[in-house]
Amino acid sequence: MSFKDKFEAYDWEEVKVSIYSKTAQDVLNALLAQKRTLEDFKALISPAASHFLEPMAQLSRKLTQKRFGKTLQMYIPLYLSNECTNICTYCGFSLDNKVRRKTLSREEILREVNVIKSLGYDHVLLVTGEANQTVHTTYFKEVIELIRPYFSQISMEVQPLETAEYEELIALGLYSVLIYQETYHKEDYKKHHPKGKKSNFDYRLETPDRLGQAGILKMGLGVLIGLEDWRTDSFFTAAHLQYLERTYWQTRYSLSFPRLRPFSGGLEPKVEMTDRELVQLICAYRIMNEEVEISLSTRESEQFRDHCIQLGVTSISAGSKTNPGGYAVEPESLEQFEISDERSPAQIAAMIRERGYEPVWKDWDAVFKP
């Protein structure tokens, strides 16, 4: 049994019609419910809910503060490599994008780590493309062993791996893995991933199951907003999350909602999501799920991020570079995507404090995994 079995019982178009036919009464029922179902979630992300944005935001803020207090986790990505054997229509690292490729050496990684530590970070997110000849489990093991003394929490956003590979990395101190489905629309997924291992929709769909079986402490889910109808994609994300929470009950979960950003050789989003709609989605997820962590990257604008931190978001990045070597080694190399909020971590932390929240730089300890 994996999520694939549940997923195949759904029909994309039926789900979409069901979401778009929700009424104002359905939204009210969802807001007033004691325990909310996936049908309630559909109502909260429906066009009908756009008229309830303020009460949704108020409820989202209240639930978030009850669970997480007035705190925000700080994290930063460390891009290890832009090598990739996949073609993805929306990504700067795509194989058909003719750019210079680079994978950081041990010495270069430590130079990057040095800068990241000087910014105050204790949580790091390792990012690569998918190039199994150079960026493989052996490389990841070496990197985790190399940087573990410097960070209390190490997360990873790389290609899907096998259960046994995840087990090896977890044993070395890997805390969480982010694995985005990009879109749950199977046909469109294939259009956006015409070549490479990533073109296997089912393998990607079952990756969270493999992570759960490996005993990962936290996993991040999400779709890339802009590829397909965001409401339908978000419903499938919520259904996936609900299944995972019930199956792998010892794992924590996080969500993020990357909106398609410009990049070198890039694709225009098929679907535009407005700021109002993104706020609606953040609030809908929070109202549906009080425990899930919600993160917001530097893809979003300064003003948007400043306001979102009190709506339901629980973690935020700052000072991010999306190119390998971006902090110290090769600051001018190609980025995966353009970031929108270019403020420094110190500036972001000051903004968080001004708004009555505490930036949290450390919320884990490697000693918990002896």
Partner 1 sequence: MLKIADKTFESRLFTGTGKFSSAALMEEALLASGSELVTVALRRINVNDAQDDMLLHLKHPHIHLLPNTSGVRTAKEAVFAAQLAREALETNWLKLEIHPDPKYLLPDPIETLKAAEELAKLGFVILPYIHADPVLCKRMEEAGVAAVMPLGSPIGSNKGLKTIDFLEIIIEQSNVPVIVDAGIGSPSDAAKAMEIGADAVLVNTAIAVAGDPVAMAEAFKMGVIAGRMAFEARLGNQENFAVASSPLTAFLDEL
**Interface ranges with partner 1 (CB under 8 A):** 65-71, 122, 152, 245, 249-252, 291, 353, 356-358, 360, 362-365, 367-370
The CB-of-351 to partner 1 minimum distance in angstroms stands at 13
Nearer to partner 1, 113 or 334 (CB): 113
Token pair belonging to 83: 């090598």
Min dist. Cβ of residue 52 to partner 1 (A) = 24
C-beta of residue 287 within 8 angstroms of C-beta of residue 60:
yes
Residue 71 or 340: which CB sits closer to partner 1? 71
For partner 1, the closer CB: 65 or 132: 65
Shorter beta-carbon distance to partner 1: residue 73 or 181: 73
Largest Cα–Cα separation, the chain: 60
Closest listed residue to residue 216, CA positions, set 168, 256, 257, 182: 168
Closest distance to partner 1 from the beta carbon of 207 (Å): 20
Of 291, 284, 205, give the one whose Cα is nearest residue 39: 284
Shortest distance (Å) from residue 362 CB to partner 1: 6
CB 253 within 8 A of CB 219: yes
Is 17 or 346 the residue whose CB approaches partner 1 more closely?
346
**Block residue for tokens 């902090």:** 327
Compute the half-sphere exposure of residue 355: CA atoms within 13 Å on the CB side of its CA: 19
Radius of gyration of the chain (CA): 20
The label of the residue with tokens 């992570």 reads 211
The Cα 87–Cα 94 span in angstroms is: 5
Tell the smallest beta-carbon distance from residue 242 to partner 1 (Å).
11
| Nearest distance in Å: CB 347, partner 1 | 17
Q: Is the Cβ of residue 273 or residue 308 nearer to partner 1 in the bound state? A: 308
Task: Pick the closer one to partner 1 by CB: 162 or 291.
Answer: 291
Give the sign of the dihedral formed by CA 309, CA 312, CA 315, CA 317.
negative
Least distance (Å) between residue 67 CB and partner 1: 6
Q: DSSP strand E in the chain: where?
A: 71-79, 123-127, 153-157, 174-178, 218-221, 252-256, 293-296, 315-317, 358-360
